[in-house]
Amino acid sequence: MSQNTLKQQRRRRSRLGMTLIEIMVVITILGLIAAAVGVAVIPQLEAARRDRASLDIKNIQGAMKLYYTKKGKYPDTASGLNALVEAQALEQMPKDPWNNDYVYINEGGKPVIISYGADGTAGGEGNDADISSADANAANKK
């Protein structure tokens, strides 16, 4: 091979490959983009979970009304929300967005459905705060 041909091949090879510095710059830029997206998306994810729990509670309330129409009363606390599935008011009992069971309390004929939030225990603030049908009903009356 001639000298010119070897030089041309070397130029082509150097244009085709990426140097280590170029690869590190690209990885750094991708890392910065991923971090920025993560900071923006994670709070929205928690808000979406709380919204889903509120929607689930509204759906369960709708099933409660259907149950009441069929049976003339709401299920007692001992029967719980499974009574809705048995009466075919719901196909299956959903779990809350944090994979916990919804809590059902019926004292004095006023049923309350509760999700205990991210921590799965009563009380809490922020993402751990309880989401209750009683809170939603009070907000709707205002």
Amino acid of residue 94: P
Query: What are the backbone angles phi and psi of residue 9, rounded to the nearest 5°?
Result: -65, -40
Q: In what order do the strands lie in the sheet with 103-107?
A: 103-107, 110-115, 131-132
Exposure of 57 in the CB half-sphere (CA atoms within 13 A): 26
From CA 56, how far away is CA 50, in angstroms rounded? 10
- pLDDT, tens digit (0-9, with 9 covering 90-100), for 63-72: 999 999 999 9
- pLDDT, tens digit (0-9, with 9 covering 90-100), for 2-47: 666 767 766 666 566 678 898 999 999 999 999 998 888 888 988 9
Instruction: Give pTM, 2 decimals.
Output: 0.70
Task: Check if the beta carbon of residue 40 is closer than 8 Å to that of residue 32.
Answer: no
From CA 121, how far away is CA 110, in angstroms rounded? 22
| 3-class DSSP assignment, residue 96 | coil
- pLDDT, tens digit (0-9, with 9 covering 90-100), for 55-101: 999 999 999 999 999 999 999 999 899 999 999 999 999 999 999 99
| 3-class DSSP assignment, residue 99 | coil
Computed over every residue of the chain, the mean pLDDT equals 86
